[in-house]
Amino acid sequence: MTAGDNLFGRLSGRTRPQVLEPQAVPAAGLHVRLDDQGRVVSLSGTLRQQLAAQSVAEARPLLRDLLCAGSALSVEGQPADWQRQSLDLDFQGIGQVLHTRGWVEPESDGWILRLLDIGDLLTGRQQAGQREQNHQLAGRMSEQLRVCSLGRLPDVVTEQLRSLAQHWRIPCVALAVPDDDERGWRIYSQYTAHDAPALWQTGQHLGTGLDGVNGNVSLSLAEARNDHPRLLSLFGHADGLLVPYRDAEGVAAWLLCGCYIGEPQTRERDWLDLAAALAAPLLSRLREQRAHQQLERMEALQGLLGTGWWELLPATEEIQLAPSLLRSLGQEDGATRQALGLWLELIHPADRQELNSRLQDLQALGKPLLTSVRLQRTDADQPLWYRVQGQVLAAGDSRRWIGFMLDISDIKNQQLQAAAAHARLDNVIASSPAVIYVQRYVGGALHPAFFSDSLLPVLGWTLDDCSHDSLAALVHPEDRDLYFDRTRQLLREGNVRSRYRVRDKQGAYHWLLDEAKLLRDDLGLPVEAVGLWLDVTEATLAAEQIKQSEERYRILVEDSPAMICRYRPDLTLTFGNTPLANYLECRPEQLPGLHLGDWLSDEQRQAFIQRIRQLTPEFPVSTAEISLQLPGREHAWWVWSDRGVFDEQGVLVEVQAVGRDNTEVRRSQQQLTQSAKMATLGEMATGLAHEINQPLNVMRMAIVNVLKRLGNGDAQIDYLTEKLQRIDAQVQRAARVVDHMRVFGRRSEIEQQPFDPSQAVEGTLSLLGEGLRGKGVDLRVTPADFSVQVKGYADQLEQVLINLMVNARDALLGKRENNPQFRPWIAVHCEHDSRHVRIWVEDNGGGIDPRLLERIFEPFFTTKPIGVGTGLGLSVSYGIVENMGGRLSVTNGEQGARFCVELPVVQPG
């Protein structure tokens, strides 16, 4: 073996003496003379100097004593037994073992052992075996990496590194490959023994520390200390070995062996082969993985873009399509190869002929194909557009026609929609009262450079008519200052919005809304102004009319004697005119925010809110009379009309109201009612006197009888007690009549209250009953068998019933004067349902003339003789019942008139 073949000598930086390669015929050897017992007589030959025992003549040791202990080669028996045998003997040399091979020959007085040095032969054989093991290990590693799956590739690489480390006793081993960006190196996989320091981690980036290292041979750190100092830190300043792997592009991987000095028997070529066995299949599989990922990304990208390749096959008149393109075209079940005509059938007829012609030009003339086509699809809302592109690939005598199809439906449809919108916009602008213009900035002034086609129909002018000098003359004289200010503001601030009048070709002026923006270059200098003229003549005139109308409306509202206001559903005022403010004793500007319910009683407020809640979009108006307690006034009544304002969902958002003061009318009605009541009392005076005289007569007779008994001395206690009790009962009877007269004669309450209508019936009978019976009128009363409540005034209902019964009494007595045999009667009875109570007053006086029924409730209308009655009784009664929410009606029955008082029942809750 030469020094050049000594691998580890160059790897570790140490040198060894040169060892000559074994020759076919040995140049020298060792001659050992033996006696018959096998004892060494003498030693001679060139190898004698290498033996540890130089002199054996005196000791005469046995031949086996000179051999190495534990040597696999040994001799047994005597020299005579060794003839015709090849002997391999190992002697203990100086510092090393001397390997020999020889044979025994007889001599005259003994035997001679002739031995040749076979050390180099054994070393070569050992190295050959080592190389064979290395080759087998490299083959196994390479095979494992080639056949494993891509998913297990990192694990298999780690397993192979572990096998390599255990075989060569390497503490730390790693495989470095280029970074993904190919600007450095990274550890793809590594293995570290349990008792070794961890020098590297899987995935660790090494930077460019390995760049510049000789990639042709292996390199130990001992050789790299001076030329590559950065490697020391990479190996943690421990011993190490770097083995490169080169391919056609240069160094493609490094095998890193840390905390390791190498094996002398391993050649550099063996290390390079081991590195290649690991790196070559790994890099191949990585390239395969990247190609697979690239293919998957390409397939995914084609699927997302709706694209794919195609290739024409003129020999078979077919076209081959990519699977992704088949899926995009909705042909998942179709064959990748299909007839060209069948493929053309997928194209819309409007584009099919053009595409076929371009395909023929591609084949015959080599003219590149680029066109857009639509698919023949009926299941899509919008057309499916594809860009078809193709070219000729020529490699020698062979030619291929390939291309791709790209889904451009979104872009194409947007272009079509944009074109249609642009056309519509042009049409709208041309026919609308809007003019788009551009003014160039030249010499410090803005000069008209463009007007849209709508200028002519709007103003009748053209661009030539609207030059820089003539445009200002078209502006109304009163607006020219405004126009010049507009130009200065545009140049100063960059945008402007103004309104002025411009004369058209017929001499009429148009109000134009001018909105413009100034465009500047990158230096901030003005370039041009882009603006819009909008004809707002009608809107301006309409706004002026609205303004005038609003002014008239404001004057009407403010000067109106009626109260006008707006308020939210919670009764918070948002507006009120002067009359309302005067009533509430504040200024009009103080009204917003005030609560209308502050001037209402609790009962009135609840009724008011309930009435507002009943407003609907179908029935938005409500009118009622409300009672208020105003500042400085005892009480006030307003006739109030509300109108609801609703949003799109039908929710009430505001109420507009108009009111008028009805206080005087209401007080007049109260006075009229009170007067009618007092007139009724006057008419009942005779009956009331009878009601009082009756108890007085009874008491007088009782007193006369008691005095007579006392005069006779026959006054018994029981008799006196009975008379006194009768006097007390008559006093209470008279007191009740007087009290009821006093209550009946008082003014009614301000607020309506719930009450039982049967109380009014009983009060009426208590005042009129005895008087009617005394005049011979039969009173037929059906007691009410129910208890309900109505809302109003009990004394006023009693007044109504008294009027009805007094009128009936007068009619009956008048009829009896003409017919003494007549037997008059008056019937009173009550009935009710879930909503109303009805009180009927009926007599047998023959009824009312049908011609007078319609006028019976008119004020001052009466059928009594002149001077008898006021004609207000029924009219007042009608108003009382109506004010309580009820109705008073009259009909003729079989024997006489039938009056009905109908009142609404107060619902529970």
Q: Spell out where 54-198 has E strands.
A: 87-92, 97-106, 111-117, 172-178, 185-192
Instruction: State mean pLDDT over 264-270.
Output: 73
pLDDT at 732 over 90: no
pLDDT at 7 over 90: no
* 207 — pLDDT class (breaks 50, 70, 90): confident
State the chain's mean pLDDT as an integer: 80
pLDDT at 873 over 80: no
d(CA 362, CA 661): 97
Report the half-sphere exposure of 663 (CA within 13 A, side-chain side): 10
Which residue carries 């390079």 as its tokens? 272
d(CA 56, CA 38): 13
Burial class from Cβ neighbours inside 10 Å (0-12, 13-18, 19+) for residue 182 reads exposed
Q: Strand pairing partners for 496?
A: 516
pLDDT at 694 over 80: no
User: Checking DSSP bridges between strand 825-832 and strand 778-781, what pairing results, if any?
Assistant: parallel
Q: Is the pTM of this model over 0.75?
A: no
Span 389-448, pLDDT tens digits: 999 987 666 788 888 888 888 888 888 888 887 777 777 666 667 888 999 998 888 999
Structural element, H or E, at residue 874:
helix 873-883
Q: Which CATH number fits domain 669-904: 3.30.70.240, 3.10.20.30, 3.30.565.10, 3.90.550.10?
A: 3.30.565.10
Span 462-472, pLDDT tens digits: 888 888 888 88
* 371 — pLDDT class (breaks 50, 70, 90): very high
Structural class in CATH, domain 23-117: alpha beta
User: What is the percentage of the chain residues whose pLDDT exceeds 70?
Assistant: 83
Collapsed DSSP state (helix, strand, coil) of residue 704: helix
Which residue carries 């070794």 as its tokens? 196
d(CA 566, CA 562): 13
Question: Would you tell me the crossing angle of helices 685-712 and 663-683 to the nearest 10 degrees?
Answer: 40
Domain with CATH 3.30.450.40 in the chain: 126-293
Question: What local confidence, expressed as pLDDT, does residue 861 receive?
Answer: 58
Which residue carries 């995009």 as its tokens? 328
pLDDT at 868 over 60: no
Burial class from Cβ neighbours inside 10 Å (0-12, 13-18, 19+) for residue 33 reads middle
Domain with CATH 3.30.450.20 in the chain: 306-413, 432-532, 560-661
Q: Any idea what the Cα angle at residue 396 is, between residues 395 and 397, rounded to 5°?
A: 110
Instruction: State mean pLDDT over 358-385.
Output: 84
User: Checking DSSP bridges between strand 307-313 and strand 318-321, what pairing results, if any?
Assistant: antiparallel
Instruction: State mean pLDDT over 717-735.
Output: 71
Provide the token pair at 182. Answer: 């190919």
Which of 492-506, 580-594, 660-674 is predicted least confidently? 660-674
- DSSP per residue, 311-323: EEETTTTEEEE-H
Span 278-307, pLDDT tens digits: 888 888 888 888 888 777 777 777 666 667
Q: The domain at 432-532 falls in which architecture?
A: 2-Layer Sandwich (3.30)
Q: Strand pairing partners for 828?
A: 781, 841
Q: Which CATH number fits domain 306-413: 3.40.225.10, 3.30.450.20, 3.40.50.150, 3.30.70.1290?
A: 3.30.450.20
Reduced 3-state DSSP string for 200-251: CCCCCEEECCCCCCCCCCCEEHHHHCCCCCHHHHHCCCCCEEEEEEEECCEE
Span 213-241, pLDDT tens digits: 766 666 666 666 566 667 777 787 778 88
Which of 492-501, 749-758, 889-898 is predicted least confidently? 749-758
Question: What local confidence, expressed as pLDDT, does residue 430 receive?
Answer: 66
Contacts of 233 (CB under 8 A, 6+ apart): 209
Q: Which CATH number fits domain 126-293: 3.50.50.60, 3.40.50.10190, 3.30.450.40, 3.30.1950.10?
A: 3.30.450.40
Q: Any idea what the Cα angle at residue 687 is, between residues 684 and 691, rounded to 5°?
A: 130
d(CA 651, CA 613): 10
Which of 547-561, 581-595, 871-885 is predicted least confidently? 547-561
pLDDT at 355 over 80: yes
* Most confident among 586-590, 680-684, 732-736 (mean pLDDT): 586-590
Instruction: State mean pLDDT over 700-720.
Output: 74
> For residues 36 and 110, is the Cβ–Cβ distance under 8 A?
yes
Q: What are residue 479's phi and psi, to 5 degrees?
A: -110, 0
Question: What local confidence, expressed as pLDDT, does residue 15 receive?
Answer: 35
Question: What local confidence, expressed as pLDDT, does residue 860 receive?
Answer: 59
Question: Would you tell me the crossing angle of helices 794-818 and 873-883 to the nearest 10 degrees?
Answer: 150
Question: What local confidence, expressed as pLDDT, does residue 231 receive?
Answer: 74
For residues 748, 754, 757, 760, the Cα torsion angle rounded to the nearest 10 degrees is -30
CATH of domain 560-661: 3.30.450.20
Collapsed DSSP state (helix, strand, coil) of residue 497: strand
* 13 — pLDDT class (breaks 50, 70, 90): very low
Scanning 647-756, the segments in alpha helix (DSSP H) are: 663-683, 685-712, 717-745
For the chain, how are helix, strand and coil distributed in percent, rounded to 5?
A: 40, 25, 30
Contacts of 360 (CB under 8 A, 6+ apart): none
pLDDT at 900 over 90: yes
